[in-house]
Structure 1
Amino acid sequence: MRTSVLTILVVPFLACAQVKDDAIIKKGVDVSKHVPKGIEAGQQAPEIVGVSVDGRQVESKAMVEDKELVLIFYRGNWCPYCSRHLSNLNDSLQYLTQAGAEVVVIGPENFESAHKTQEKTESDFILLPDTSMQLMQAYDVLFTVTKRYKGKIKTFLFTDIAENNGQDEAMLPVPATYIIGRDHNVKWRHFDYDYTKRASVKEILDHLK
């Protein structure tokens, strides 16, 4: 009897876990390797240090002395959802800066590919290529792309993900958004494996207040 009860409890749990894995896999995440969870609200934000696509030195520690930091991860210039999201973000950039925020956008692309992103989105925000992948790892948004998804992107969007990033292996970030407060802690986050779902400018503004 006890075994039967245990089976009744465990089987639905395993089924739910499988459904979740299947949904993540469809978005290109190789679940046989590390599946990112993203750092949580309330945690201390890893420091960001790097050089932007236009040669500016970027240091989050200095930025949050008098501003809040809006940190956005994107996948690449080949991704239509990223291009649309970043273009919309740039169109509303003045509202974010007026709210006392600095916007930094981080992606896995090499500098050449990141320049294409900048041109495509006509961006005025800080665009930071994370060529070492260390920032994406620190924020726990980085994952290995499935072979099937790599093929899909190459066939339909004519892009080799690894080549676009200047890497041997195809890796991408979950396109998450973080707001980092002046206390260096994560104030709010939007984290969704479904890359079609992004944080809106309104959501970001609501959480900057």
Structure 2
Amino acid sequence: MNKFKALFFISLAAVGFANLSFAQTVTSGQLKVGSTAPSFTAKDYRGRNVDLKAMTQKGKVILVFYRGQWCPYCNRYLSSLQDSMQLIAGKGATVVAISPEMPDNAEKTAAKTKVSFPIISDAGNRLLKMYKTGYTLEDATLKQYKAYGIDLSKANGNNENMLPVPATYIIDQNMKISAVFYDADYRNRPSVRQLVNEL
């Protein structure tokens, strides 16, 4: 990508993405505080196993769902978590990020954000459905995304056209959900201070 194209895309990301429809039909059934978190073992983009239950034995886990490497809001948020890992680790916690994208796109996220925590490629939407964060984009919104060069079928490796609400769950050592941040507006994310206060 030449310099002009890169600057053009950044401009779209900063201004145009804000105009994309975010008021999608989202199932109002997010997991609640006090409920048992679904256990899973999944592979990160490097092919390494991530076992949620095993991780919680060492401390709380901040489980973050993000939309994709193409989303500047997501990249900025993951970067902020990485910048605050000392605070998070100081509370005995760790972070796991989950995206519906294919592993190569999850790897692009890692390269952009310089994160040290696992990024799971949930290309089959299994975890999105388990944690009730997934929603299907309407045709009009898909057209908007394609106009910005985002083809979800290619990025995610399936035709479900599903994205996650950028939800965040904090899971304790008993596999109970101790905090939930769930907002259908992808521009809204919990601050690091909010997360640390819940650990």
State the TM-score bracket (shorter-chain normalisation): 0.7 to 0.9
CA–CA separation in structure 1 for the residues paired with 2:32 and 2:70 = 28
The verdict on how the C-alpha distance between 1:113 and 1:36 changes in structure 2, with shifts beyond 3 A counting, is: farther
1:93-108 equivalences under 5 Å are: 93-108=85-100
1:21-100 equivalences under 5 Å are: 26-27=21-22, 29=24, 31=25, 35-100=27-92
**After TM superposition, what 4+ stretches of structure 1 lie above 3 angstroms from structure 2?**
none
CA–CA separation in structure 2 for the residues paired with 1:150 and 1:163 = 13
Query: Normalization by structure 2: what TM-score?
Result: 0.86
Q: CA deviation at 1:65?
A: 1.1
CA–CA separation in structure 1 for the residues paired with 2:160 and 2:153 = 5
| 1:200 and 2:188 aligned | no
Structure 1 equivalent of residue 160 of structure 2: 169
Structure 2 equivalent of residue 190 of structure 1: 181
The structure whose Rg is larger is 1
Q: CA deviation at 1:36?
A: 4.6
CA–CA separation in structure 2 for the residues paired with 1:46 and 1:74 = 18
CA–CA separation in structure 2 for the residues paired with 1:145 and 1:45 = 26
CA–CA separation in structure 2 for the residues paired with 1:59 and 1:145 = 30
| 1:111 and 2:92 aligned | no
Identity rate, percent: 36
Are 1:36 and 1:142, in contact at CA under 8 Å, matched by a contact in 2? Answer: no
The verdict on how the C-alpha distance between 1:139 and 1:110 changes in structure 2, with shifts beyond 3 A counting, is: same
Q: CA deviation at 1:54?
A: 2.0
CA–CA separation in structure 1 for the residues paired with 2:97 and 2:153 = 20
Query: Normalization by structure 1: what TM-score?
Result: 0.82
Q: CA deviation at 1:26?
A: 3.5
The verdict on how the C-alpha distance between 1:132 and 1:36 changes in structure 2, with shifts beyond 3 A counting, is: farther
CA–CA separation in structure 1 for the residues paired with 2:140 and 2:113 = 28
Offset from partner CA, 1:51-90 (integer Å, 9 cap, x none)? 1112321101111112111100000011111011111111
Q: CA deviation at 1:118?
A: 0.9
The number of aligned residues is: 180
Of 111, 115, 120, the residue aligned with 1:123 is: 115
Q: CA deviation at 1:151?
A: 1.5
CA–CA separation in structure 1 for the residues paired with 2:107 and 2:195 = 25
Structure 2's unaligned 5+ residue stretches are: 1-19
| Partner amino acid, structure 1, of 2:48 | R
Q: CA deviation at 1:175?
A: 0.3
